[in-house]
Amino acid sequence: MQTRPITMDFIHELISYFYWYFRPIIKGFLRLTTRLCELQRICYGEPKGGPRTCGVENSMILSRDPDIVKVIKSLDEQISVGAFKSTQTEKEVLVNAVNTILVTKRIKRDLHRQFEVSLRHCLRQIWGYKQLVQEVEKLRSEGFDSENLEHERTLLQLWALLQPGIPLTTRKTKQWQNIGFQGEDPKTDFRGMGTLGLENLIYFAREYNSTAKHILSHSHHPKHGYSFAIVGINLTHMAYRLLNEGCAKSHMFNVTDAKATLDHFHHLYSYLFVEFDKFWLSEKPRDIMEFNRIRDLFENNVRTLLAEPTTCLKIHIAVENV
């Protein structure tokens, strides 16, 4: 008779099961001894930003209290109808959610004013992140349309930012390959990421113009070169996955005291572009065929950084010469 080998995955499943089973008992014991509920212990004990907000979110997700479950469902519904796009509506929604939690957890407002403020801040960040996911998805699902004047204007602006003083001879031209598109018409390269890919590129080229042009010069290197725009769209896909999978939460909760916005997503993308260029050059690839290997290594490094709740990814402007 063969026995199942004990693996790390099996041990992890076993620990998770016991934690889930005994969690209510542990929480009850800690509440009895500290006179604080789990959310209070997190808000009072964890530093502001990723550690605190992630802790609050995990606590609420794992909660078996029907009232907490209803709060989560209600806030999710408010995000779906765009309530967080209005400052006033957002404030009302968060106040109601916090009030429900205070009543459910039997917390005296007069004694725990700071908890009330901290909890409301955490909820704003948590559901602000969910709103950002929706906004990013909207851009990704919107295909580039050459008949759309705004799309065309943005595309031409990208050329002007990266190739100042060099006019395009015509709308469809091999000149686009100079900034890393595959053919004569860039619109075909945006199919996977839609206008999100273009918005990322234009933000990077506008906000970090000298850095973007410097990296563009790296992409023309005879040995270690790569297609600037195509790599940029690949990095859009990477940033999109990190956001959707929740891996970017630690960074987003630490990078701003408020809720994360599209600009924060574009900033994350810009960080990825700057750091990928450095990583690519440090790997000294034989040719572009090594792109997938190097991209995967780079993504693993980024995911390791983001696994730390205190992570805040900052752009280091210095770009090496090659």
Give the DSSP letter string of 147-194: T-HHHHHHHHHHHHHHSTT---SSSS-GGGGGGT-SSS-GGGGGTTTH
Instruction: Report pLDDT digits (tens) over 35-74.
Output: 789 999 999 999 999 999 999 999 999 998 999 999 999 9
Specify the amino acid at residue 38.
Answer: E
Q: Which of 55, 130, 316 is nearest to 211 (CA)?
A: 316
d(CA 201, CA 7): 44
Distance CA 247, CA 235 (A): 15
Q: Residue 104: which residues within 8 A CB-CB, separation 6 or more?
A: 65, 67, 68
Q: For residue 30, is pLDDT > 60?
A: no
Average pLDDT over every residue of 87-95: 93
97 closest CA partner among 130, 66, 75? 75
* Mean pLDDT, the chain, whole residue set: 90
Predicted TM-score (pTM) of this structure: 0.89
CB 24 within 8 A of CB 32: no
Q: In the predicted model, is pLDDT for residue 172 greater than 60?
A: yes
d(CA 304, CA 301) in angstroms, rounded, equals 5
Predicted confidence band of residue 1 (pLDDT cuts 50, 70, 90): very low
Lowest mean pLDDT among 12-16, 107-111, 177-181: 12-16
- By three-state DSSP, how is residue 46 classified? coil
Q: What is the largest CA-CA distance in the chain?
A: 76
Task: Specify the pLDDT at position 322.
Answer: 47
Would you state the structure tokens that stand for residue 275, as one six-digit string?
Answer: 């750091």
Q: 136: how many CB neighbours lie within 10 A of its CB?
A: 21
CA distances from 309 to 42, 43, 85, 181, 290 (A): 13, 15, 27, 37, 32
Q: Rounded CA gap, 43 and 115, in Å?
A: 6
Alpha-carbon radius of gyration of the chain: 24
